Amino acid sequence: MTNPVSPPHPGHQRYFFQKFGITERLLERCLGEALSAGGDYADLYFESVTSTALAVDEQIVKSASQGTSAGCGIRVLSGERTGYAYTDNLSPERLLRAARTAALIASGPARQPVQGFTEAPIADLYPVPLGGFDLDLAARLELLLRADRAARAFSPAVVHVQASYFEELRRILIAASDGAFASDTQPLCRLNAFVIAKEGAVTTKGTAGAGGRAGLEQFTGSKSPEHLAHEAARGAILQLGAVPAPAGEMPVVLGPGWPGILLHEAVGHGLEADFNRRKTSAFTGLIGQSVASSKVTVVDNGTMAGRRGSLNVDDEGSPTQETVLIENGILRGYLTDKLSARLMGSANTGSGRRESYQCIPMPRMTNTYMLAGEDDPEDILRSVKYGLYAVNFGGGSVDITTGKFVFSASEAYLIEDGKITAPVRDATLIGNGPEALKYVSMVGHDLKLDEGVGTCGKDGQSVPVGVGMPTVKLDKMTVGGTGR
């Protein structure tokens, strides 16, 4: 979890200056136009993305696609109001027109933006290894072919294999009326394996994936194509013999890593400042109060090198940080962006993110995880007479206002007399955010972060995120099986 700081990257901004003819003078003119009807603040968000997707299906390199898009979103803040306009044409006249459209949110005398920009030093969490257009496609295809071979070789029960790879290079440049200036180049990639297994009349699926803000060298060890293929195949084959999941309240042990999605749904979203500013979150007004057992400390950390949820700067140009959300069970803070920090009179946690230049930024998570405790994972399992051990999940969701959340187990087992027994079929777990973590009675020493596959959706905007957790025992949670 290092946070190396290096000098600003002139290369990030040079890209926009050279490729699109953007100049500091033009940025100043656009900001001036954006504040021409008043307003407290304006910013410009330039984005250029190139992406590549490859897939091997039935042992054939069936599909390859590349896309490129560029645009600029212009925002004006006036009190609690946001005016927003974007353009995919970066000519001066279109930029100025978008600025004038965003300006309509305010009504007052024109304000002058600060003249001249200051670019603060930012971290270098992901030395950019991924190419834009000139990719070594053969090296990427080899990863897919290796995954395909490994999955098919795993078992004769594997009847279908699909391996896919996605990567993007996102360049951003942010200039604000307060003189803030930031630029970044953000790589992101992901390798996935999908397997169908069949035995008699029973058909099942398994998936596994890994990725992050790093180059192809990351796909070794637990992220190697072979390991991912084996995990996908193992998951599918396990399901062939799964019994119905139980139904009702029972002790639940969550394995380390990706089950940290519990934290993302149960507490993370409810602590995003926009919901709390509006007092529409189930966590509204709970700062300083107990929302979890004293064994629970949860942080959101955007500064972890190479991780999928990490960013040198957020999409408002603010540096990311490690933010303590829950400390020894006590709710400590919210995730804020510039608007919510200003309106709530709190510090900006660098959590302003957006899917693209077409979207208004809002407070979002980065990498959200629970710190390790002291329990031995074996002891945790041994302590359960009858319950569920869930180690992998498909996804989750939360109702921010009521705090009710779900997350759906895709690999889980019964625990009987302290031992892991039968694998169970898919089942959704459901709980209440401000209550669920109060039932955490044991926390393992085995903190693990996920393999880098998470995508979070909010108000129609998707952003990459990470989660993590040690092995955790909840004394009580509702398991939504059929109980047959």
Partner 1 sequence: MPQAAVQPSETAVDLESLTAGVVALAMKAGASDAESVAREGDEFSVNVRMGEVETIKESGSRGLGLRVFLGNRSASTSTSDLTPDGIRQLVEGAMALAKVTEEDPFAGLPETAEFGSLAGDLHLYYEDVYSLSGAERIEWARRAEAAALAVDPRLTNSDGGSFDVSTGRKVLANSRGFLGGYRASFAGVSAAPVAMDEHGQRQRAGWSSSARSFALLESPEAVGQEAARRTLLRLGARRVPTQRVPIVFAREAANSLLGSIFEAASGNAIWRGASFLAGCLGKQIAAPSLRIVDDSTMLLPTGAGGFGTSPFDGEGLPSRRTTVVENGVLETYLLNTYSARKLGMKSTHNASRGLAGTPGIGCGNLYLEPGSLTPEEIIAAIPAGLYVTGLMGPGVNLVTGDYSRGAVGLWIENGQLTHAVEQVTVSGNLAEMLLNVTAIGNDLVFRGAVASPTLRIDGMTIAGS
Nearer to partner 1, 1 or 202 (CB): 202
Shortest separation between residue 365's beta carbon and partner 1, angstroms: 18
Shortest separation between residue 297's beta carbon and partner 1, angstroms: 25
Buried b (16+ CB within 10 A) or exposed e, 282-318: bbbebeeebbbbebbbbbbbbbbbbbbbbbbbbbbbb
Instruction: Assess contact for 33 and 93: CB atoms under 8 A.
Output: no
Nearest CA to 391 out of 257, 191, 220, 196 is that of 257
Nearer to partner 1, 215 or 403 (CB): 403
Question: Rounded distance, CA 66 to CA 432, Å?
Answer: 42
Question: Rounded distance, CA 190 to CA 223, Å?
Answer: 10
Question: Rounded distance, CA 12 to CA 419, Å?
Answer: 54
Nearer to partner 1, 181 or 334 (CB): 334
- What is the amino acid identity at position 293? S
Shortest separation between residue 399's beta carbon and partner 1, angstroms: 7
Question: Rounded distance, CA 377 to CA 390, Å?
Answer: 13
Q: What is the CB neighbour count within 10 angstroms for residue 93?
A: 9
For residue 15, give Cα distances in angstroms to 99, 116, 278, 314, 352.
22, 19, 39, 19, 23
Nearer to partner 1, 80 or 379 (CB): 80
Nearer to partner 1, 59 or 294 (CB): 59
- Alpha helices for 330-443 (secondary structure H): 338-344, 377-382, 433-436
Question: Rounded distance, CA 259 to CA 245, Å?
Answer: 17
Buried b (16+ CB within 10 A) or exposed e, 173-200: bbbbbbebbbbbbbbbbbbbbbbbbbee
Shortest separation between residue 295's beta carbon and partner 1, angstroms: 23
Q: What is the CB neighbour count within 10 angstroms for residue 132?
A: 18
Shortest separation between residue 270's beta carbon and partner 1, angstroms: 11
Question: Rounded distance, CA 364 to CA 349, Å?
Answer: 10
Nearer to partner 1, 204 or 218 (CB): 204
Q: What is the CB neighbour count within 10 angstroms for residue 276?
A: 24
Shortest separation between residue 224's beta carbon and partner 1, angstroms: 22
Instruction: Assess contact for 62 and 144: CB atoms under 8 A.
Output: no
Question: Rounded distance, CA 97 to CA 306, Å?
Answer: 38
Nearer to partner 1, 220 or 402 (CB): 402
Phi, psi for residue 273 in degrees, rounded to 5: -65, -25
Nearer to partner 1, 371 or 456 (CB): 456
Nearer to partner 1, 323 or 336 (CB): 336
Shortest separation between residue 185's beta carbon and partner 1, angstroms: 19
Nearer to partner 1, 124 or 249 (CB): 249
3-state secondary structure of 202: strand
Shortest separation between residue 214's beta carbon and partner 1, angstroms: 23
Nearer to partner 1, 122 or 365 (CB): 365
Shortest separation between residue 301's beta carbon and partner 1, angstroms: 26
Question: Rounded distance, CA 102 to CA 96, Å?
Answer: 10
Question: Rounded distance, CA 105 to CA 92, Å?
Answer: 21
Place of tokens 């009521």: 402
Burial classification of residue 353, based on how many CB atoms lie within 10 Å of its CB (0-12 exposed, 13-18 middle, 19 or more buried): buried
Nearer to partner 1, 235 or 470 (CB): 235
Nearer to partner 1, 113 or 361 (CB): 361
